Amino acid sequence: MELYDYQNQIIQEIAESYRQGKKRPLVVLPTGGGKTVIFCELISRSVAKMGGFVSVLVHRQELAEQTVKTLSKMGVSSAMVTAKGTEELSESGEFIVSHKQVKRGFSAFVVMVETLHSRRARETYKALIESPNFIIVDEFHFTNFVKVLNEINENTPVFGFTATPLYSNKKHKISKYHDRLIIGATPGELIARGRLVAPVYYIHKIDEINLKKRGGEFTDESIVKTYTEESILESVLANYNEHQRGEKTLLFTSSIAYAEVVRNYLLENGINARSIDSKSATKEERVEVFKWLREEEDAFLVNVGIATTGTDIPDLKSIILLRATTSLTLYIQMTGRGARTSPGKDHFKVFDYGNNRERLGFWEEARDWDALIKAAEKPKRKRKADDLGLEVITIPGLKDESGKETGVVILQPDGSLPPDYQYLYTKPVGEMDFGELQLFRKVKNYKPGWIYRQIWDKHGERGLSEYAQLKNYSSGWAWQISQRFLGR
335 part of a folded domain: yes
201 lies in the same domain as 277: yes
Q: Which among 145, 168, 186 is the end of a domain?
A: 186
CA distance 392 to 442: 9
In the chain, the percentage of residues whose pLDDT exceeds 90 is 61
Asked if residue 159 lies in contact with residue 14, where contact means CB atoms within 8 angstroms, the answer is: yes
* Contact predicate 184/28, CB 8 Å: yes
What is the number of domains present in the chain? Answer: 3
353 and 219 part of one domain: yes
- In sequence order, what DSSP letters do the residues of 351-416 get, joined into one string? EESSSHHHHH--TTS---HHHHHHHHHSPPPP--TT--SPPEEE-TT-B-TTS-B--EEE--TTSP
Q: What integer pLDDT is reported at residue 481 of this predicted model? A: 85
**Residue 414: predicted pLDDT:** 55
d(CA 453, CA 115) in angstroms, rounded, equals 50
CA angle 220, 225, 227 (to 5 degrees): 95
Query: What pLDDT is recorded for position 273?
Result: 96
**pLDDT value at residue 403:** 56
User: Contact, 395 vs 185, CB < 8 A?
Assistant: no
Say yes or no: 239 and 297 in one domain.
yes
pLDDT-above-70 percentage for the chain: 89
Q: What is the pLDDT of residue 432?
A: 75
In a domain, 109, yes or no: yes
What is the mean pLDDT of the segment spanning 428-456?
78
Pairwise CA distance, residues 170 & 437, whole Å: 34
Q: Are residues 126 and 204 in the same domain?
A: no
Of the candidates 106, 320, 69, the one whose C-alpha atom is nearest the C-alpha of residue 201 is 320
Kindly report, residue by residue over 175-195, the tens digit of the pLDDT.
999 999 999 999 999 999 999
In this structure, the answer to whether residues 334 and 445 fall within a common structural domain is: no
Which of 334, 48, 28 minimizes the C-alpha distance to 178?
28
More confident site: 41 or 310: 41
pLDDT for res 418: 54
Taking only the tens place, the pLDDT of each residue in 437-449 is 777 776 667 788 8
Largest CA distance in the chain: 95
Phi/psi of residue 405, nearest 5 degrees: -70, 130
Over residues 18-35, mean pLDDT: 94
| Type of residue numbered 184 | G
Q: Quick: pLDDT tens for 146-175.
A: 999 999 999 999 999 999 999 988 889 999
Torsions phi, psi of 339, nearest 5?
Answer: -90, -10
In a domain, 45, yes or no: yes
Query: How confident is residue 396, by pLDDT bands cut at 50, 70 and 90?
Result: very low
Judgement on whether residues 11 and 133 belong to the same structural domain of the protein: yes
How high is the pLDDT of residue 113?
A: 94
- pLDDT higher than 80, residue 422: no
Instruction: Read off the pLDDT of residues 369-394 as tens digits, 9 standing for 90 and up.
Output: 999 999 888 876 443 334 444 444 44
Question: Do 182 and 291 belong together in one domain?
Answer: no
Considering the domain boundaries, does residue 375 fall inside one?
no
Indicate whether 213 belongs to any domain: yes
Q: What angle do CA 131, 132, 133 make, to 5 degrees?
A: 125
Q: Confidence band (pLDDT; 50, 70, 90) for 224?
A: confident
pLDDT at res. 127: 92
Q: Is position 382 within any domain? A: no
Same domain, 410 and 470: yes
Domain span including residue 428:
392-485
Check whether residue 176 and residue 201 sit in a common domain: no
pLDDT of residue 230: 74
Taking only the tens place, the pLDDT of each residue in 201-219 is 999 988 888 888 887 888 8
Do 127 and 52 meet the contact criterion of CB atoms below 8 Å apart?
Answer: no
pLDDT in the model for residue 266: 96
* C-alpha span between 279 and 196 (Å, rounded): 31
Among 128, 163, 186, the domain boundary falls at 186
The secondary structure element, H or E, covering residue 79 is strand 78-82
Structure confidence at residue 220 as a pLDDT band (50, 70, 90): confident
Helices (H) and strands (E) in the chain, counts: 17, 19
pLDDT given for residue 427 in this prediction:
62
Say yes or no to pLDDT of 409 above 80: no
**pLDDT score, position 309:** 77
User: Is the pLDDT assigned to residue 91 strictly greater than 80?
Assistant: yes
CA geometry: angle 117, 121, 123, nearest 5 deg: 115
> 276 and 252 in contact (C-beta within 8 Å)?
no
State the pLDDT at residue 393.
44
| pLDDT range class, residue 196, cuts 50, 70, 90 | very high
Average pLDDT, rounded, for the chain: 86
Predicted local confidence at residue 395, as pLDDT: 44
Q: Where are the alpha helices (DSSP H) in 138-272?
A: 146-149, 187-192, 220-227, 230-239, 256-268
- Average pLDDT on 55-77 reads 92
Together in a domain, 266 and 285:
yes
Residue 379 in any domain: the answer is no
CATH number, domain at 14?
3.40.50.300
Separation between Cα atoms, residue 3 and residue 5, nearest integer Å = 6
What amino acid is encoded at 52 in this protein?
G
How far is residue 135's CA from residue 123's CA, in Å, rounded to a whole number?
Answer: 17
50-64, 70-84, 379-393, 406-420: least confident range: 379-393
3-state SS of 191-222 is: HHCCCECEEEEEECCCCHHHCCEECCEECHHH
Structural domain contains residue 383: no
Residues 158, 258 within the same domain: no
Cβ atoms of residues 278 and 306 within 8 Å: yes
- Residue 256: exposure state from Cβ atoms within 10 A (0-12, 13-18, ≥19): middle
Categorize the per-residue pLDDT at 415 as very low, low, confident or very high, splitting at 50, 70 and 90. Answer: low
Determine the pLDDT at residue 399: 52
Domain boundary among 170, 186, 202: 186
Asked if 88 contacts 102 with a C-beta cutoff of 8 angstroms, the reply is no
Q: Which DSSP string corresponds to 432-460?
A: --HHHHHHHHHHHT--HHHHHHHHHHHHH
Distance CA 104, CA 142 (A): 28
Question: Is the domain of 91 the same as that of 181?
Answer: yes
Is the pLDDT at 4 greater than 80? The verdict is yes
Length of the chain: 488
